[in-house]
Amino acid sequence: MKDVEMKMLERAKALLESGEVARVIGWKKGDFCFDPAPASFETVEELDNFVYDYFCGANLSKYLIQMSKKEGKTAVFLKPCDTYSFNQLVKEHRIKRENVYVIAVECMAKLDIEKIKAKGISMVESVEVVGKEVKVTSAYGVETLYKPDVVLTKCATCTKTHQVKDEEIILHERPARDVDRFEEVAKLEAMTADERFAFWREQLSKCIRCNACRNVCPACSCVKCVFDNPASGIAAKANDDKFEEQLFHVIRAFHVAGRCTDCGECSRVCPQNIPLHLLNRKFIKDIDNLYGEYQAGETDEGKTPLTSYTEGDAEPNDVMNGEAK
Amino acid sequence: MQRIGVFICWCGSNIAATVDVVKVAEVMKNEPGVVFSANYQYMCSENGQQLIKQAIKEHNLTGIVVGSCSPRMHEATFRKTAEAAGLNPYMVEIANIREHCSWIHKDMDEATEKAIILVRTAIAKVKLNAPLTAGESPVVKRALVIGGGIAGIQAALDIADAGFEVDIVEKNATIGGRMAQLDKTFPTLDCSACILTPKMVDCAQHEKIDILSYSEVEDVKGFVGNFNVKIRRKARYVDETKCTGCKVCMDKCPSKKGLNAFNMNLNTRPAIHIPFAQAIPNVAVIDPEQCIKLKTGKCGICQKFCGVGAIDYEQKDTFIERQYGAIVVATGFKPIALDAFNEYGYADNKDVITSLELERLMNAAGPTNGVLLRPSDGTHPKVITFIQCVGSRDSSGCGKPYCSKICCMYTAKHAMLLREKYPDTEVHVFYIDVRTPGKNYDEFYRRAVEQYGVDYIKGMVGKVYNENGKLMVQGSNLIDNEQITIESDLVVLATAIEPEPSVRKVATLLTASIDTNNFLTESHAKLRPVESPTAGVYLAGVCQGPKDIPETVSQASACAAKVIGLLVKDKLKTNPCVAIPDEMMCNGCSQCANVCAYGAITYVDKEFRLGGGKTEVRRVASVNPAVCQGCGACTVTCPSGAMDLKGFSSKQIMSEVEAICKK
């Protein structure tokens, strides 16, 4: 990963120095090795803080809504999963494609510090990844973990590939894997309605309405969110019942249905570890079953299955009965 | 301050027998905002309307709620009433306490409670109504007829005779449809071609009619008065403007083994062909599946022999776009497939045929030149058995639940013609009921029985099987209460008819509704039988329901009258209940434009102030109110809730929901 970072830095410098781009969106070092954060770099000097490692899981595509409106071009580093969000936002006319220079970068699955900490390791100082081994150096010594145990949930079932690139920095190919991203959804489907209601009620009861999921979600990019709009008549209802408030997540899932690329950022940023991505994946699975397989963000044009009608579409009663196409 | 008036209609006993209308009106007096509440026997009557007008004036009402029948019946009436009293017509709401309440309930207490809730709901809505004004849209003075059978031909001729341009789009190479395949027509037994072909010729010669044969409707946009239709002109590989219909190509074509669909596949035809002698247009067409040149690149004989150079193997499908004010759907029917009816042995025995096949076997232009010969061995059949209701009135699920309506009469016709032409044949007919309502119809059937000695057997057939070259028809005779077997030479199945399958695509393109049997739905079964619920779309012929030629022609002329009534208008009033975007909340994401069936939504770049002297240019939706039909699809698609519908705003709908849920 160090070699990839070097190459990215080299390109970022060249692009800024030549004036080809006005800024580069990437990740900057945090206080610790495990908390790099998205950042915009406008000068070569600022790049001193640039970092790209196994903790750079954040999806940078949403920042381009604002950045692509600015003067001059914006270069951005996009991992495979981020490119789907990028395409979806271009399709919805939120990103000005002509103002963006996309550098596709390899991913190799990112690590989840929460999962590392859950292994009983605290005061992490540095992390080194060799193949499937993760060597974690902490104040208490060095421990070796099995990588698939500590990758981000969104990375565990990822099979995505770059959908858009103006250039690429890929020094190592990620080996192909056979994973089923709907395994967890199938478990929920197997529950009775009462069990499922209890499951979500419990999960959503943890919500503190910090709005991190909404703020990070590339599909949640409304100029004015309905939940922030007093005229929508939703705000006051939330006070009636605690669970009604938490239905926020269900409404949000409906709003992004057919547009969600399954980038998994919602679950990654949730401080309460609510598996929010499962709501979206249920919609994705249903759309696949009812209207044929569809991956949002695979292209930057065309209609989504939920906003188009074709003669082969499932009849409403098929939808009611959840019958596959 | 709102001043709402409530008017509860009894509708005679229609509502009053199940809903305590007096109580409903009394309860409404206590509703906030309501200053007047009354009940009356017939609110739609002159006196009822007078009551409303008077109340509006005397109580200075700002909005009214009429608790009555469906708004589809009298909303327009009450809007006019309000307007006459000086109230904006869109300040009227209808609470449907008849179809939605009194008609479907038996218990008076329950129905009354529900009526109260429904009226309360309408009050909640009308309080949020805003006065609206209808706009105008121009009418394109040209009609499209989809389907060139007798229905389409008649509609087109009538519309054209009134002076309007008409295009007939026909998917086959010629107009004429099913009627062109028939031999004689009941109840007068005149030759089908003799009465149809003059009408076909009239179409071809009419200066206002443009026949687009071998074409299909590909896309429809727009709305009543302003449809924009994309038509695919399929490649026929023959230049329509050059071909003289001389048929030399047909003689010379070496690929002669194509099944002749016009003759119900009972004989063959060349790859290049004119479907039948009186085809309109009289222009050849090449079947690309059969043509040696198109399949292998080697041949080209027809091109060599064509005296006018009409053959063009390079021809491709082309598209034309035209504007129409009105559209007539006349897509017709086909006999059902008999795959599910093994008991009649249709697939296994060549001499078990359908009635439409018999038409061709009896027709002078048919495969046997009008001499009835058995398909299997070419001999004259001596015993012929007809089986009625094959797939019609079928409750087993294999066929159709409805009566195909034409079979009783054409079977009587067939039986009579056969006895007339071949007096030595024995003709039996198995029937469930003989249905012959219609002018001179029952007389016609009785002639078959009484004068022509056709043996009608009341009973159904269980099995048809082949024994030593004879078709054994096993059935029951309910009158004599016995099981019988008739040794027959030919068995004719009166096969059920169903809408031509392409109607589904047409219906989808026109957003015209369709029933479970694929028949197009009329706007009102009794009072608007030729109009589709989609404004500007009219229905003619079997696409709307089973019917015979006289009925089809009547309906086609009725359609034409409706179309002419529309096309003579220069402008139509548009529906003011249109979508309206809140630009401050619009993301410009195009989802609303994606779902808009009318192409009413476009996008504009607008500059917005951000504060601090800064501005930002954003892409926002813009609705063309003349094109928007107020369907509301955009409002539910918009993720930020920026799109709303005038007259049906999200706030109004939510307030209705709240009124319903309130205890």
The number of domains in chain A is 3
Residues A132 and A191 in one domain: no
Beta strand B268-269 with B258-259 is: antiparallel
pLDDT given for residue A312 in this prediction? 76
Residues A73 and A31 in one domain: yes
Closest CA to B426 of B383, B380, B381, B485: B383
Do A311 and B504 lie within an 8 Å CB cutoff? Answer: yes
pLDDT exceeds cutoff 70 at B240: yes
pLDDT given for residue A289 in this prediction? 87
Residues A32 and A161 in one domain: yes
pLDDT given for residue A228 in this prediction? 84
With contacts defined as CB-CB under 8 Å, which chain B residues touch A229?
A: 585, 640-641
Nearest C-alpha in B relative to A234:
B654
Residues A162 and A97 in one domain: yes
| Residue A175, in any domain of the structure | no
The least confident of A206-220, B74-88, B227-241 is: A206-220
| Residue A302, in any domain of the structure | yes
Q: Is A275 exposed, middle or buried (0-12, 13-18, 19+ CB in 10 A)?
A: middle
Do A307 and B508 lie within an 8 Å CB cutoff? Answer: no
Tell me the per-residue pLDDT of B343-368, one tens digit each, with 9 for 90 and over: 999 999 999 999 999 999 999 999 99
Residues A302 and A193 in one domain: yes
- ipTM for the predicted complex comes to 0.85
Give residue B578's pLDDT band: very low, low, confident or very high (50, 70, 90): very high
| Residue A174, in any domain of the structure | no
Residues A249 and A125 in one domain: no
| Residue A66, in any domain of the structure | yes
The C-alpha torsion from B51 through B56 and B59 to B63, rounded to 10°, is 120
pLDDT given for residue A325 in this prediction? 47
Nearest C-alpha in A relative to B594:
A307
Q: What is the mean pLDDT of residues B198-208?
A: 97
CB count within 10 Å of CB A188 equals 17
| Residue A260, in any domain of the structure | yes
Task: Say what percent of chain B tops pLDDT 90.
Answer: 90
Residues A63 and A128 in one domain: no
CA neighbours within 13 Å on the CB side: how many for B186? 29
| Residue A75, in any domain of the structure | yes
The least confident of A106-110, A232-236, B263-267, B268-272 is: A232-236
Residues A123 and A91 in one domain: no
CA distance A214 to A269: 10
Which helix (H) or strand (E) segment holds residue B432: the answer is: none
Closest CA to B270 of B283, B282, B260, B280: B260
Residues A31 and A12 in one domain: yes
Q: Which residues neighbour B96 within 8 Å (Cβ) at sequence distance 6 or greater?
A: B68, B69, B70, B71, B118
Q: What is the mean pLDDT of residues B87-108?
A: 97
A11-15 long-range CB contacts below 8 Å, 24 or more apart?
A: A11/A103, A11/A167, A11/A169, A12/A41, A12/A47, A12/A50, A12/A75, A13/A44, A13/A47, A15/A75, A15/A101
Residues A100 and A37 in one domain: yes
- In which domain, by residue range, is A129 found? 118-150
Do A311 and B603 lie within an 8 Å CB cutoff? Answer: no
| Residue A105, in any domain of the structure | yes
Does A79 contact B at CB distance below 8 Å? Answer: no
Which helix (H) or strand (E) segment holds residue B298: the answer is: none
Nearest C-alpha in B relative to A254:
B639
Q: Which parts of chain A have pLDDT scores under 50?
A: 325
Does B3 contact A at CB distance below 8 Å? Answer: no
With contacts defined as CB-CB under 8 Å, which chain B residues touch A221?
A: 587
Structure tokens belonging to residue B167: 């295009």
Do A307 and B591 lie within an 8 Å CB cutoff? Answer: yes
| Residue A313, in any domain of the structure | yes
Q: What is the mean pLDDT of residues B436-462?
A: 96
CA distance B65 to B91: 9
Residues A309 and A249 in one domain: yes
Residues A30 and A99 in one domain: yes
Q: Do the beta carbons of residue A82 and residue A109 sit within 8 Å?
A: no
Which phi and psi angles does B450 have, rounded to 5°? -85, -40
pLDDT given for residue A178 in this prediction? 84
Tell me the domains of chain B and their CATH numbers: 4-126 (3.40.50), 142-233+318-332+500-567 (3.50.50.60), 248-305 (no CATH), 338-496 (3.50.50.60), 579-645 (3.30.70.3270)
Relative orientation angle of helices B192-205 and B150-161, to the nearest 10 degrees:
40
pLDDT given for residue A234 in this prediction? 67
